[in-house]
Amino acid sequence: MKKTILLQRIVLLLFFFTVTTVLNAQSWQDTAAMIDKVFTRYADQNPGAELAISRNGQIIYSSARGMADLEHSVPFSKNTKTEAGSVSKQFTAACILLLEQQGKLSLTDDIRKYVPEVPNYGNTITIRHLMNHVSGIRDWGSVAELGGWPRSTRAYTNSDALHIISLQKSLNNKPGDEYIYSNSGYNLLAIIVQRVSGVSLAVFSKKYLFEPAGMKHTEWRDDYQRVVLNRAMAYSKKGDTYYTFMPGENVYGNGGLLTTAEDLLAWNDFYLSGKLGSPSLLPKQLTTTPFNNGKKHTYAAGLMVDSLNGWASVTHSGATAGYRANLDHFPQLGLSIAWLSNTGQPDMSDIPSAIRNIMVKNLRPVIPASAPQNIPVNNFSSYLGTYREAKTGAGINLFTEDNSLYLQPHTKLIPTSNNSATMGRARWVFAKGTALLISGADTTVYTTTPPPDLNDLKKYAGIYASNETESKIDIVLKEGKLFMEQREEKTLLTPVYKDGFSFPGGDLFFETDTKGNIRKVFISIPRARKVEFSKLN
C-alpha cells in the first residue's frame, strides 16, 4: 500500500515538473513579447481584435488592437462587444442543461415533444442528438443557400429557421450515426428554451448565466437592428479594400453572442470551477456520447472535448459574417485563451493557433516524413475510372496523366503501395469495385459506377422546383457545357459519372423514371445532403 502511494506521488511530481518546465522555459516577459509580436499583425488603422489569457482564473494578458469601427475611427478596447459566432453554442447548451436540472425537460426527450413542427422521420431525434450535432437534421442555412438566399441576404429569425427545417423530407443521416455540424440543432434548442421556460433564450441566459458569471459586457444579438453600445462592426476584405460584412439576421442560439474576450474568460472560470448549477453541471457539459457504432465522439454540450498540442482541451471556434472567435481551455495547465476579431480575412485566421503554440508547447512526438515510395502508377490501372458515394451522390474519377495519379479535376495523389495513396492527411485505399477515403477516424465508401455520357447532356436541361427550398433552378446547356442558374448566378456543372456532376462546393445527380426520362435532381453541399428538386413539365 505504501509503495502504491509513493508511486502515485512520484507520478504527480513528474507531471507537475513537466508542466512547470513547459511554462517556465522562458520568462513571462519573453512570452508576452512573443504574443505582442503576433498581435501587432493587426494594424492600428485596420479592423482588429481583442485577446485575453488567464491562468487559474487570473487574467495574465489582455490587449485590444485595431479599429472596431472604420467609418468612425473607433479603436478596439477591452470592452468592445464582438460577435462570438459558434462559441455561442455552449451558452445555449448550458441553458438546456439548467432546464433539465430544474426538471423541465430531459436530454433523452424526443424533440417533437417541444417542436412538433419537425417532421417525423421514423427515428427518434433527442435533445442530446441536437446538442451533439448527430441529429441528421439539415443545416437550415445550407438549405437556404440552395434556395438562392444564403445567410446574411435576408433577416432570418429562429422562426424562419424552424420553417425551413419543417420542409425537409429527409435527414442527412440516421440520428446518432454521424457528426455533421448543423446550426439547425442549436436554433431548435433556443426555441425549446423559450417554449419550456416561458422566456426567451436572451432573458433566460442573462439571469442564469451572464449575471452569475459576472459577464457585464455580454448580450445576444436577437434583434440585429437594435443599437448596441461599443459594438465592433464586422468586415471582409477584397484586394486592398475593406467592406462591412454584418450578420443582418435575428437567428441566435447557434451564434449571435455579443461579448468581450475578458467576459469569455469569466465564463470559463465560472463553469469550469463548478459554479454553474447545483450540483455542478460541469460533468454533463463535458460528457461526450459515442456514436451508434460505439466509436468515440468528441463534441459535448457546445464544446469540443479533445486534445491540442498533446494536452487535454475544451475548445470551440466561431465565425459569423465578418466576425471570428476562438475560446480554448487547457485543464492540465489551468490555462484559458479568448480571441475575438471583426475581420474574417484569411491571413488572420491562424492567429489563435499562433497564440496557442506560444502558450502551450507541443508535446506530440514529431513523426518524420516517410521517404517517398517509387510506386509505378501502372499498378493502379485496374482501379482507374469513376466511383460514386451513396450518402451524398458525390463522385470521383481516378486517372493517370504524365506518369502521375490524379483525382478529378486535378488533385494529385501520392502512391504509398500498389493500391493506396495519400492526399494531404487523408488516405485512399482501392480494391475491386470500391475506393475508401480514410480521414482520421472516418471512412467514406465509394463504389464503381459508369462514366458520364458527354454526348447526351441536353436531356438534363430544364426547370426544377423544390418544396424543401421553396425555390427553382434552371439547368441549361450552353456551348456544350451544362450550367445551373439561379437568381442571376450561373454555376458550371462538371460531369463526373453517369447522371452525376460536381460544382464548386457541392455535388448533384439526376434521377430517371422507368422510361429513362429525367425526373429529379438531388443536390448535396457539406451540411445538407440530397436536397430534392423535381423537373417541371
Span 78-132, pLDDT tens digits: 999 999 999 999 999 999 999 999 999 999 999 999 999 999 999 999 999 999 9
- DSSP reduced 3-state for 70: coil
* Measured distance CA(380)–CA(1) in Å, rounded: 60
For residue 23, is pLDDT > 60? no
For residue 24, is pLDDT > 90? no
* Measured distance CA(500)–CA(451) in Å, rounded: 9
For residue 145, is pLDDT > 50? yes
Q: What is the pLDDT of residue 393?
A: 96
- DSSP reduced 3-state for 518: strand
Q: What is the pLDDT of residue 201?
A: 98
For residue 25, is pLDDT > 60? no
Burial of 303 (0-12, 13-18, 19+ CB in 10 A): buried
- Residue 192: how many other CB atoms lie within 10 Å: 25
For residue 35, is pLDDT > 60? yes
For residue 426, is pLDDT > 80? yes
- Cβ within 8 Å of residue 265, ≥6 positions away: 52, 53, 54, 59, 336, 338
What cell numbers appear for 221 in the block?
Answer: 444579438
Q: How many residues does the chain have?
A: 537
* Measured distance CA(250)–CA(258) in Å, rounded: 13
What cell numbers appear for 73 in the block?
Answer: 475611427
Binned at pLDDT 50, 70 and 90, residue 410 comes out as confident
φ, ψ of residue 471 to 5 degrees: the values are -155, 175
φ, ψ of residue 158 to 5 degrees: the values are -65, -30
Cβ contact 118:156 at 8 Å: no
* Measured distance CA(486)–CA(17) in Å, rounded: 62
pLDDT in tens, 438-471: 998 889 999 999 999 999 899 999 999 999 999 9
Mean pLDDT of 7-22: 44
Q: What is the pLDDT of residue 321?
A: 97
If you average pLDDT over every residue of the chain, what do you get?
A: 93
- DSSP reduced 3-state for 283: helix
For residue 2, is pLDDT > 60? no
Q: What is the pLDDT of residue 12?
A: 42
For residue 305, is pLDDT > 70? yes
- Residue 193: how many other CB atoms lie within 10 Å: 26
DSSP state of 136: -
For residue 9, is pLDDT > 50? no
* Measured distance CA(45)–CA(166) in Å, rounded: 46
Q: What is the pLDDT of residue 242?
A: 97
For residue 4, is pLDDT > 60? no
How many angstroms separate the Cα of 275 from the Cα of each of 103, 202, 208, 356?
19, 20, 11, 26
* Measured distance CA(522)–CA(534) in Å, rounded: 9
What cell numbers appear for 322 in the block?
Answer: 465578418
Give the residue among 190, 168, 186 at the shortest CA–CA distance from 117.
168
Binned at pLDDT 50, 70 and 90, residue 537 comes out as confident
* Distance linking the first and last C-alpha atoms of the chain: 82
Give the DSSP per-residue string, 323-334.
EEEEEEEETTTT
Degrees, nearest 5: CA angle 425-430-436: 55
* Measured distance CA(323)–CA(317) in Å, rounded: 11
The domains located in the chain, with CATH, are: 7-87+203-363 (3.40.710.10), 377-448 (2.40.128.50), 457-535 (2.40.128.50)
